[in-house]
Structure 1
Amino acid sequence: MSLFPGEFAVSITFTDTCMSVNPARARFLALWCVLLAAKAWLAARLPAFGDEAFYAQESRHLAWAYSDVPALTAWLARAGSELAGDGIFAIRLPFLLLGALLPWLVVRIAARWFGNEAGWQAGTLALLLPLAATAGVLALPDVPLLFAALLCVDAVARLLRDARDRVATLQLAFALALGALAHYRFAAVIVAGAAGLLMAPTGRDLLRRPAILAALAAGIAGWAPLLGWNLAHAGAGVAFQFVDRHPWQAQAAGLAWLPVQAVLLTPPLCVLLLATLARAWRQRHAAAHWALLAGTGAVATLGWGVLAFFADRERVSFHWPLAGWLLLTVAAPAVLAGWRPWVRRAVFGLAAIGTAALFAYAGLQTSPAARAELAATPAWADEFAGWDEAAAAVRAELAAMPAGSRVVADNFLLGAQLSLALGRDDIAVLPHPRNGKHGRAAQLALWDLATPGRSGWGEVSVLLVVEDTARPLKDRLRGYDALCARTGLAAPPRIVAVDRGRKRFLLWSLPAGPAATDGAPGAGAAAGCRLPALAWIDAPAPGSAVGGRLAVEGWAWRPGERLAAVEVLIDGVPVARADYGNPRPDVLAYWGRGDAGEDPGVGFRAELDTAVLAPGRYWLGLRLHGGDGRIEDWPEQVLRIER
């Protein structure tokens, strides 16, 4: 079955797979098959990633553009749903297939420039780029962006040989339009490609040909839907992608860009790709393809390194240079051929280890038990955690509520996850800092899913679902007060704690009727809202290694109510009742309640004899008992017992 037309057609047959006499091709095919199977398994098992759920929501509201991305991601997700039915795997299927084609494009381009043997080696290197190896597991816009970028390079490579190649010209036009529909960041790919073409005389000649200019015009037309959306909505998408999310001030954190990339690529492979870029620069006058690689590769990799000093550091951005690294794998075998055999083996071997480690880490995210064990570490993945548990709790609560009850989420990410899990497109979303921070507020308003609160719900019962841990602890009381003002929280919430409490959801079942509060700042307790508790363990610090007698000290407080007792837990089992009620006026002052007349006796202290515990790792937690009988477990932290 031929995958690509042209002078280098890659074919997969039974003979190729099982009886190939070309070791490089056999290695590539075997690795490609193994990784595709592993990716399919992950795509079927991983919970929906945060942004994925919103793209799935967009796929149920088809449009030419959205507030966060152009249309292609939603269209692909919708195509998967139409072809394969409901479920996250169906949504991911088109992305999985596109991701599987990326290494074949690398093989095709490299074989044209450096020969078939180098092509298979380049494809193997592309498969061993950890981030590229996992491309397609998640339904994210980077997959069609990478596909479009490599299609562009492939078309230009053919045009550098024959400027009259009509098929290549049409492919270039298609790829440029496809990239425009994939993501705003494809603009950087265009800049990188232009830099590469301008470095080669034949490339500059191409830019003078009417047919190529027509192809470029077709590519520019691909941006029309995005331009139209921004013109109709005061430039909200452009403002978010290029202005609001970036500080545009020099930040020292940019120094971490290259070390992070080295870890993600594996250090030997990173050195190889940088050496390839250096060789392309030295040989840019020797051949058109080296000039193209030098200009395009430099902008698409090091250009992002420069931008790292000024761009967004709060959201994930380590994957942005991936298109540039993939392009450099095309010429990497030519550089690698001059290295010693043991160095070549180290490059492939360590890259394989890095790829296997990334797959293993992704595999851990498929297991709730494994995620819970990672809860106290930086390896814990917030975007995969808790959604299934939240959806199950919502189903249970709705079953006990009147028919026709509405579901309201406190932020867009939770709303999208519940929409995907419950198959509902009517889940409204309250104002939340996360909505604007991620560029989704405008889209929610367009779908008529943005709600100010009870005043917009009518006479209907509502299940309010709050992702408590979406706000930093320091901002939670302010968030509770805002919720009280918008919705009225007269009943206590049901609390769903996931991964040792690292993620918590609060569910309020609100009866039909108007809100009971006036929205005054800090009015939560005064308005009779039933708020969750706040607590903190001052000592021991998380991860502390202790032995002998251990003092556990801190504070615990439920706004507007006095706790009846605080228990200390080890691995979820009560081991001590704390001395509760010690004066801590500093706590109430911190939360702005120092003059509210509340009892400052919110401090606690308990002593444990750790000698009765075997050495090892434990989870230290608190159980908070309210005066009304409510019990709430506070998030746990790691404690290490030593002798």
Structure 2
Amino acid sequence: MLDVRRSRLAFLALFAAVLLAKLLVAARLPLFVDEAFYWQEGQHLAAAYSDLPGLTAWLARLGVEVGGGGLLGLRWPFLLMAAAVPLLMVVLAKREFGAAVGWQAGSLALLLPLSGTLGLLALPDVALALATVLCVDAGTRLLRRAEAGAAFELALGLGIGALTHYRFVAVIGVGFVALLLLPEGRRALRSAWTWAAITCGATAWMPLVVWNLANADAGLRFQLVDRHPWAFHADGLWFVAIQALLATPLLLAAMLTASRRGAAASRPAVRYLAWSGGLLVLGFFLLGFVADNERVSFHWPLPGYLALLPLVPATLAAWSPTLRRLAWGLAGLGFAAVLGYYASVSVPAFRARSADTKWYPENFAGWDVLARVVQEELATLPAGTRLLADNFKIGAELGYVMGDPAIPVLDHPLNHHHGRAPQLRLWGLHRDAQYAPGDGSTLLVVAATDVPYRQLLERYHALCGMVGPLPAARVVNVDHGRRRFLLFRLQGRGAGPCTAPGLAWLDTPEAGAVIGRHVDLKGWAFKDGVGLSRVEVLLDGRPVGDVEYGLRDTGVAAYWKISTDPSHPQVGLGGNIDLGAVAPGRHWLGLRLHGRDGSVEDWAEQPVHVR
């Protein structure tokens, strides 16, 4: 009884603390790109969309309609659904394994980083987790007796999952297999109540089926074909390693142990949970070796973990007290680390300091600065100036800030890479390769850093093909240029050869190099269409002198084969620059490119350490 009381108090205290912490972080965490697009989908209500079924967009619309347009207004439905997951975990585990285990399983659901941080972002994973727990709980109830209450819960879980994500098919398939493996499960599958629930769940897929039939299976093809290489790649090893970190090593070991032992247990509920969770985790681990390794996928195994958590307290009870405490402690540290990461992302200074690292939160950063500058530009342009976005990310993020879900978007590889191009076309917002801005004023917003650097010149030429030669741009460098936006004022479609923004590179000093106050620079820069007249050197955004420009460098044109800068091959730069009385320590070195057309562009900066 003491153990039950202690476990209950621990869960309640943890539940309150986690919920409060998530509310505080969610109120400040910058909008994630996908959240912005789900908001945009919610402003164009439909039964289904090109990337997902409709539920996430509907929840986003509900959030802002009830809670207003702020971050918490968008996210509160997801925070509420996320809070239901550990509560349902308590209900499931208490019924099957007793009160103490129930409260402990609920605490584990709060501390498991992937489930504990659910709801911070308005993403489909929240509803997918809730649907998984509902279905797993209903499955354990059906093993006891197939009756109306269990069937209703199963129908609810199947319906939520079907309206959330294509990936829920894995939960359905594994759950069905787990029932087939058990005599009690096969008995449940002979019940009319069970099939009534399955029928209701199947009906929930109809909006997605209808959408795909009407759109040449574009959504299904993207989810199952276009986004996956379906060829072996060793990145699957990284996928497994990342899972060990995100689930925390000892908790992951406990879940896998519970799955292995539970598969041979005598109790039907234990075997059902072990088979369901184990097969899901194993399946997603194997999928990591052949499936999409470019987009985020670390959250995929979460449904399997949720199915296994009710078994974990018994596994931990068999460990030594020291190892058990270590497992709980590591889980707590893991949750705190992930929550702390999101909290850090909310701080502009952290984002700026991390600009030169691979951990830079690119999809969270720069949108507030960009929106402010765009509004400044629009205020100085003629009334009726149209806004045109380079890709769906810009269109959605600016749309959210400006309350405009109908910003047109140019054709861009990212639109196709993320399966958003078909949806943009259905809304009439996708502007294809021969788009003409028209006779009026247009502000084109381009994200230079949304394209790999080696493909950037090609993208500039593609923009010229769509809108004509590009005028001088207003450059918006965020976090030392790690996020780089270009704003072009277009007056109709210009004529003539492509004029593009400049490109530059410093060969020396390299990023992170230790330098003195007198530093030798070597590199290159060019600007297609017109060329450059001079190049300044910047330190922490302040000019410290001109570098010699026009040195011969034949390798630049050989690499950038389509470049039309008339100065080739005289596009090299070099010389010795006196940085002045700069304090020792970390500084940011950059270039300012002066075009012969009068344009001035600050290039992205790189960190150096001054002795």
TM-score exceeds 0.5 = yes
Pair 236,447 (structure 1): closer, same or farther in 2 beyond 3 Å: same
Are residue 335 (structure 1) and residue 315 (structure 2) matched?
A: yes
Q: What aligned pairs does 1:403-422 form with structure 2 within 5 A after superposition? A: 403-422=383-402
The code of the aligned residue for 2:505 comes to W
Would the aligned equivalents of 2:387 and 2:408 in 1 still touch at CA under 8 Å?
yes
Do 2:4 and 2:100's aligned partners in 1 also have CA atoms closer than 8 Å?
no
Alignment RMSD: 2.0
Q: In the alignment, what sits opposite 2:488?
A: 508
Provide closer, same or farther for how the CA distance between residues 488 and 358 of structure 1 changes in structure 2, counting only shifts above 3 A. Answer: same
- Aligned match of 2:194: 212
* 2:73 alignment partner AA: A
> Structure 2: which 5+ residue stretches go unaligned?
none
8 Å Cα contact 1:20/1:26 also seen in 2:
no
- CA displacement at 1:599 relative to structure 2: 3.5
Cross-structure match for 2:372: 392
Residues of 2 paired with 1:371 and 1:41: CA distance? 19
Which residue identity lines up with residue 148 of structure 1 in the other structure?
A: A
Conserved 8 A contact 2:547-2:577: no
Q: Which residue is 2:495 aligned to?
A: 517
Q: 1:352-393 CA distances to partner (integer Å, 9 max, x unpaired)?
A: 111111111111111222111111111211110111111111
Provide the rounded CA distance (Å) in 2 between the counterparts of 1:440 and 1:106: 35
d(CA) in 2 for partners of 1:388, 1:345 = 43
1:326 shift after superposition: 1.9
1:491 is matched with 471
Structure 1 residue 597: deviation in Å? 4.6
Deviates more, 1:272-281 or 1:300-309: 272-281
Q: Is it true that 1:267 corresponds to 2:249 in the alignment?
A: yes
Q: CA offset at residue 607 of structure 1?
A: 2.7
Q: 1:459 corresponds to which letter in structure 2?
A: D
Aligned to 1:358: 338
Q: Is the 8 A contact 2:544 2:578 kept in 1?
A: no
CA offset at residue 595 of structure 1? 7.9
Tell me, in whole angstroms, the C-alpha distance in 1 between the residues paired with 2:183 and 2:276.
Answer: 15
**How far does residue 211 in structure 1 lie from its aligned partner after superposition?**
1.6
**2:96 pairs with 1:96:** no
The answer for the alignment partner of 1:13 in structure 2 is none
Residue deviations 1:517-575 (CA, integer Å, cap 9, x gap): 37xxxx41xxxx3x211001112222234458642211111112332322323322333
Q: 1:558 aligns with which of 521, 527, 532?
A: 527
The answer (yes or no) to whether the contact 1:293–1:328 under 8 Å persists in 2 is yes
Name the CA distance, whole Å, in 2 between partners of 1:20 and 1:93: 34
8 Å contact kept, 2:538–2:544: yes
The secondary structure found in structure 2 opposite 1:635 is coil
- Secondary structure at the residue paired with 1:313? coil
Partner of 1:579: 548
Q: Distance in 2 between matches of 1:327 and 1:587?
A: 56
Q: Deviations over 1:299-337 (max 9, x none)?
A: 211110101111001100000001111221111000000
What residue number does 2:427 align with? Answer: 447
What does residue 4 of structure 1 align with? none
1:126 is aligned to 2:106 = no
The answer on whether the counterparts of 1:469 and 1:504 sit within 8 Å (CA) in structure 2 is: yes
Do 2:473 and 2:599's aligned partners in 1 also have CA atoms closer than 8 Å? no
Helix, strand or coil: the match of 2:262?
helix
Structure 1 unaligned regions, length at least 5: 1-18
Deviations 1:97-137 (A, max 9, x none): 00111111111111112110011111111111112111001
**Residues 559-596 of structure 1, C-alpha deviation per residue, up to 9 Å, x if partnerless?**
12332322323322333432221111211222125787
1:303 pairs with 2:283 = yes
CA distance in 2, matches of 1:624, 1:382: 25
**SS at 1:262 equivalent:** helix
Question: For 1:238-637, what aligned pairs fall within 5 Å after superposition?
Answer: 238-283=220-265, 286-452=266-432, 455-489=435-469, 491-511=471-491, 513=492, 515-517=493-495, 523-524=497-498, 529=499, 531-546=500-515, 550-593=519-562, 597-608=566-577, 614-637=583-606
Is 545-554 or 53-62 further displaced after alignment? 545-554
Written as runs of structure 1 = structure 2, the 5 A alignment for 1:150-229 is 150-163=133-146, 165-229=147-211
For residues 23 and 103 of structure 1, what CA distance do their matches in structure 2 show?
17
Per-residue CA deviations over 1:372-419 (Å, capped at 9, x if unaligned) read 111111121111011111111111111112222211101011101111
Relative to structure 1, the CA distance from residue 303 to residue 369 in structure 2 (aligned partners, 3 Å threshold; closer, same or farther) is same
Report the equivalent of 1:11: none
- Residue 430 of structure 2 aligns to a residue whose secondary structure is coil
What amino acid sits opposite 1:332 in the alignment? V
**Contact kept in structure 2, 1:560 and 1:598, CA below 8 Å:** no
* Cα distance in 1 for residues equivalent to 2:456 and 2:365: 20
Distance 1:636 1:243 in 2: 39
Report the residue type matching 2:419 in the other structure: G
CA distance in 1, matches of 2:520, 2:99: 68
Output the CA distance in 2 between the equivalents of 1:150 and 1:613.
Answer: 58
Deviation at 1:71, TM superposition (A): 0.5
CA positional deviation for 1:229: 0.3
Is the 2:522–2:574 contact (alpha carbons within 8 Å) kept by the matching residues of 1? yes
Q: Which residue of 1 aligns with 2:95?
A: 112
Deviation at 1:452, TM superposition (A): 2.9
After superposing the two structures, state which structure 1 stretch, 401-410 or 48-57, moved more: 401-410
CA contact (8 A) 1:95 1:139 kept: yes
Partner of 1:10: none
- TM-score, length of structure 1 as denominator length: 0.91
SS in 1 for 2:27: helix
Letter in 2 for 1:476: L
Structure 2 counterpart of 1:209, one-letter code: S
Q: Residue 418 of structure 1 aligns to which amino acid in structure 2?
A: L
Instruction: Report how far residue 455 of structure 1 moved.
Output: 4.7
Q: Distance in 2 between matches of 1:276 and 1:612?
A: 63
Residues 595 and 91 of structure 1: is their aligned pair in 2 closer, same or farther, counting only changes over 3 Å? Answer: closer
The structure-2 alpha-carbon separation of the partners of 1:494 and 1:119, relative to structure 1 and needing over 3 Å to count, comes to: same
Hey, what's the Cα distance between the residues in 1 that align with 2:544 and 2:383?
43
Deviations 1:449-481 (A, max 9, x none): 112377554432211111111111111111111
Displacement, 1:242?
0.4
**Structure 2 CA distance for partners of 1:547 and 1:272, relative to 1, 3 Å:** farther
Preserved contact between residue 489 and residue 510 of structure 1 (Cα < 8 Å): no
Q: Which residue of 2 aligns with 1:47?
A: 30
1:418-463 per-residue CA deviation (whole Å, 9 max, x = no partner) reads 1111111331011000001100110001001112377554432211
Q: Supply the distance in 1 between the matched residues of 2:162 and 2:144 (Cα, whole angstroms).
A: 26
Secondary structure of 1:46's partner?
Answer: coil
Report Cα offsets for 1:489-525 as digits up to 9, x if no partner.
45311111101100111111112x3x2237xxxx41x
1:146: Cα distance to partner? 0.6
Report the alpha carbon displacement of residue 193 of structure 1 after superposing the two structures with TM: 0.9
Task: Give the direction of change, closer, same or farther, for the CA distance of 1:216–1:630 in structure 2 (3 Å limit).
Answer: same
2:69 to 86, 94, 97: 86
Equivalent-residue separation in structure 1 for 2:564 and 2:54 (angstroms): 52
Q: Distance in 2 between matches of 1:184 and 1:398?
A: 40
Q: Is the 8 A contact 2:523 2:572 kept in 1?
A: yes
